[in-house]
Amino acid sequence: MESCIAVIGGGPAGLFAAIAASGAERRVTLFEKLPQTGRKLLATGGGKCNIGNTLDAAELAAAFGRQGRFLLPALDVFYGKEMRDWFRERNVPISLEDDFHYFPASRRAGDVLACLLEEAERCGVQIITGCAVTDWVTDGERLAGVRTADGKTYPAEAVILATGGRGYTALGGGTSGYRLAELAGHSMITPVPGLTGLQTVESWPGECAGLSLPDVEVRIGLPRETVRGRGELLFTRQGVSAFAVLDLAGRVAELLLKKETVPLCIDLMPGRSREEWRQWFAEVRKHSGSKNLSRILADLFPKRLAVHLAGADDGPVARLTASGMERLLGDLTGLSLTIRETDGWEKAMVTHGGVKLKEIDPRTLASRCMTGLFFAGEVVDLDGPCGGYNLSWAMASGVLSGRSAAEWLCAPARASI
Ligand SMILES: Cc1cc2nc3c(=O)[nH]c(=O)nc-3n(C[C@H](O)[C@H](O)[C@H](O)COP(=O)(O)OP(=O)(O)OC[C@H]3O[C@@H](n4cnc5c(N)ncnc54)[C@H](O)[C@@H]3O)c2cc1C
C-alpha cells in the first residue's frame, strides 16, 4: 500500500527533504504557505546564492557554536563535494569565489531553485503552494496527517517540519512552525533575530550613516563572551550593521532578553595594538604636529568618523594632552557602543533559537516527542554565521530528514519513541 509523507515548508530544507524522501510506493506532498516555493532562497547572497564554503564538515559544524556537533551526521550525508556534484550533475555547476565562498557559476539563486523544483517534479513530489499547515491530525497517539488553514486534512504517516525561521515575513518567515512543534510536545529556545544590524543608545553613529570601514573587529564587551565579528562595518541611521556585526547579532539579541543594553567594543584597525598606535602618533607629532587631529585621522578613516574620534581634543596634534591621547588610543582599539536592540525580525537573515536540539535525534533528525515527525533546516535551534553556513545546514538536514523518514516508513516494525 502507498504510504504518505508530508513536508511542511518549501525552502531549501523542505525541497531537499521531499526529494530525498521520494521513492516507489511513497506519496510525498510538500506544503508551502506562500504562493511560490523558495522565496528566501531566491534572496540569498543578494540573489547570487552563497551556497557553501570551503570548510570541512568539522570546521563548518564548529562555526555553529557549542551545539555544532549536532550537524555532523547530516553533513556526513550531504555536504561539500556531494552537494557540488549533485548540482553539477543537474547542470548547475558550483564555482568558488574569493577562495572561500561557493556560488552557482551563473550567480543566480533562481537556477538553484529551478533545479530543485525540476528534481522534485522528476521524483513525483506533489507541491501545494499558498497552503499553510496549521495543525496535526492524530489517530489516538499516532501522527496521521496534517490540517491546513483552509480546514482540509491530508493523510501522512511521516511529516518533515521544515518551516524555517522567523525573519523576513515577506520571504516566508513566521512562527507557525514553532507552534506546530509545540503542539507536537516540543519546547523552544526563545527565537531571537540573528544576522541583523544593531541599534545603539548613542546617537552619533547616525551622523556617520552610510560610512563603512572595510575591516574592523567587534566583540561583546562582557566577561566570558567569546563571539567576535571581523570584516566590514557600516554605520546606519540607528546604529551599526554589515559583516563585522551580523555574526554577533544573535548572541547580542539573546543577551538583550535579560539585559537592557549590551556593550560592544570595536577595534577600528585590528592588527595595530595600542602601543603601535602610540608610536605612530609620536612620529606624526614629529613631522605634522601643527595639523589638526581630525585632519590626521581623516587620512585613515572617513571624515565624519575622524571628526567624531577627535571630539573635544580636536586641534594641533602636538598639543594633544596625555589624557586626550589615552582616550583616543582607547577609542581606536576598542570604540565602545551600547546596543539597545537589533534591527528586528524584518531584517533578520536567520533566527537564533528554535526547536530544542535535545528533543531531536541528530542521527535521523527524528522527533523524540512525536513518532513519525522529523525536522530540517532553520526551524531548529541552530544558526551559523554569514557565508554559506546556513544553506549548508538547510540542504544537509533536508537530505538526512527525507531519507530518515523514508527509511522509517519502510521499516518492517516502525519504531516509536
Ligand atoms: C536576505 C537573506 C539572505 C541570505 N543569504 C544567505 C546566503 O547567501 N547563504 C546562506 O547560507 N544563507 C543565507 N541566508 C539564510 C538562508 O536563506 C536560510 O537559513 C535558509 O533559507 C533556511 O532554509 P529553510 O528551508 O530551513 O527555511 P526557509 O528558506 O525559510 O523555508 C521555509 C519555508 O517554509 C514556509 N512555511 C513556513 N511555515 C509554513 C507553514 N505553516 N505551512 C507551509 N509552509 C510554511 C515558508 O513560507 C518558507 O518558504 C539568507 C537569508 C536571508 C533572509
Residue in 29, 30, 44, 148 to alter for ligand 1 test, most ligand atoms within 8 A of Cβ = 44
CA distance 67 to 47: 29
What pLDDT does 140 receive?
Answer: 83
Q: Which of 163, 241, 343, 393 to mutate to test the pocket of ligand 1 (most atoms within 8 A of CB)?
A: 163
Is residue 373 within 6 Å of ligand 1 at its C-beta?
Answer: no
**Among residues 171, 51, 168, 27, which one has the least CA distance to residue 108?**
51
What are the structural domains of the chain? 3-193+351-410 (3.50.50.60), 197-343 (no CATH)
Beta carbons of 90 and 16 less than 8 angstroms apart: no
Report which ligand 1 atom has the smallest distance to the Cα of 180.
41
Instruction: Quote the CA–CA distance of 155 and 187 in Å, as a whole number.
Output: 25
How much is the pLDDT for 413? 65
Joined together, the cell numbers standing for residue 267 give 577595534
Residue 225, φ and ψ in degrees, nearest 5: -90, 120
- CB contact at 8 A, 22 and 124: yes
> Band of the pLDDT at 25, cuts 50, 70, 90?
confident
377 Cβ inside 6 Å of ligand 1: yes
- Centre of ligand 1 to C-alpha 304, Å, is 37
Which residue of 29, 30, 32, 40 sits with most ligand 1 atoms within 8 Å of its CB, as the best mutation to test the pocket?
A: 40
What DSSP string runs through 154-205? EE-SEEEE----SS-GGGT--SHHHHHHHHTT--EEEEEEES--EEES-SHH
Q: What is the mean pLDDT of residues 151-155?
A: 98
Alpha helices in 194-242 (DSSP H): 204-207
Instruction: Please report, for residues 93, 128, 287, the alpha-carbon distance to residue 13 in angstroms, rounded to integers and kept in the order given.
Output: 20, 16, 60
pLDDT for 146 equals 98
Query: pLDDT tens across 323-342, in order?
Result: 999 999 999 999 999 999 99
Greatest Cα pair distance in the chain: 89
Burial call 137-176: b when 16+ CB within 10 Å, e when fewer: beeeeebbbbebeeeeebebbbbbbbbbbbbbeebbbbbb
Which residues are registered as beta bridge partners of 29?
A: 6, 126
Confidence band of 411 (pLDDT split at 50, 70, 90): confident
How far apart are the CA of 5 and the centre of ligand 1, in A? 21
pLDDT range class, residue 264, cuts 50, 70, 90: very high
* pLDDT > 90: percent of the chain: 95
As a whole-number percent, the residues of the chain with pLDDT over 70 amount to 98
Q: Across the chain, what does the average pLDDT equal?
A: 96
Dist CA 253 CA 192 (whole Å): 6
Residue whose C-alpha cell reads 563603512 in the numeric block: 212
pLDDT at 412: 65
pLDDT of residue 416: 63
- pLDDT score recorded for residue 227: 87
Separation of CA 165 and ligand 1 centre (Å)? 7
Q: What is the pLDDT of residue 333?
A: 98
**If you take atom 46 of ligand 1, which residue's CA is the nearest one?**
172
End-to-end CA distance of the chain: 24
The answer to whether residue 73 scores a pLDDT higher than 70 is yes
| C-beta 33 within 6 A of ligand 1 | yes
Task: Specify the pLDDT at position 263.
Answer: 98
- Does 415 score more than 80 pLDDT? no
Model pLDDT, residue 142: 86
Q: What is the DSSP letter of 223?
A: T
Q: What is the predicted pLDDT for the residue at 28?
A: 98
Cβ(9) – ligand 1 distance below 6 Å:
yes
CA angle at residue 164 from 38 to 415, to 5 degrees? 110
Over residues 192-216, the mean pLDDT reads: 97
Mean pLDDT of all residues in 122-137: 98
32 lines ligand 1 (CB under 6 A): yes
Per-residue pLDDT band at 290 (split at 50, 70, 90): very high
CA-to-CA dists, residue 376 to 165, 284, 298, angstroms: 11, 57, 49
Residue 146, ligand 1, Cβ within 6 A: no
| Position 96, amino acid | L
Q: How far apart are CA 238 and CA 12, in angstroms?
A: 32
Q: How far is CA 76 from the centre of its chain?
A: 21
Q: H or E segment at 149?
A: none
Q: Between 115 and 142, where is the model more confident?
A: 115
Nearest CA to ligand 1 atom 38: 163
Q: Amino acid identity, residue 140?
A: G
Answer yes or no: is the C-beta of 109 below 6 A from any ligand 1 atom.
Answer: no
In this predicted structure, the answer to whether residue 417 has a pLDDT above a threshold of 90 is: no
- Pocket lining: 39 vs ligand 1, CB cutoff 6 Å: yes
Q: Which numbered atom of ligand 1 lies nearest the CA of 348?
A: 53
The response to whether residue 194 sits with its C-beta less than 6 Å from ligand 1 reads no
Tell me the pTM. Answer: 0.95
CA 172 / ligand 1 centre spacing (Å): 7
b (16+ CB within 10 A) / e for 8-44: bbbbbbbbbbbbbbbbeebbbbbbbbbeebbbbbbeb
Average pLDDT over residues 354-378: 98
CA 34 to ligand 1: nearest atom:
47
Tell me, what amino acid is at 93?
P
Which residues, in sequence order, are bridge partners of residue 159? 6, 373
Q: Summarize pLDDT for 42-66 with one digit per residue, the tens.
A: 999 999 999 999 999 999 999 999 9
Ligand 1 within 6 A of CB of 168: yes
Q: Which amino acid is at 242?
A: A
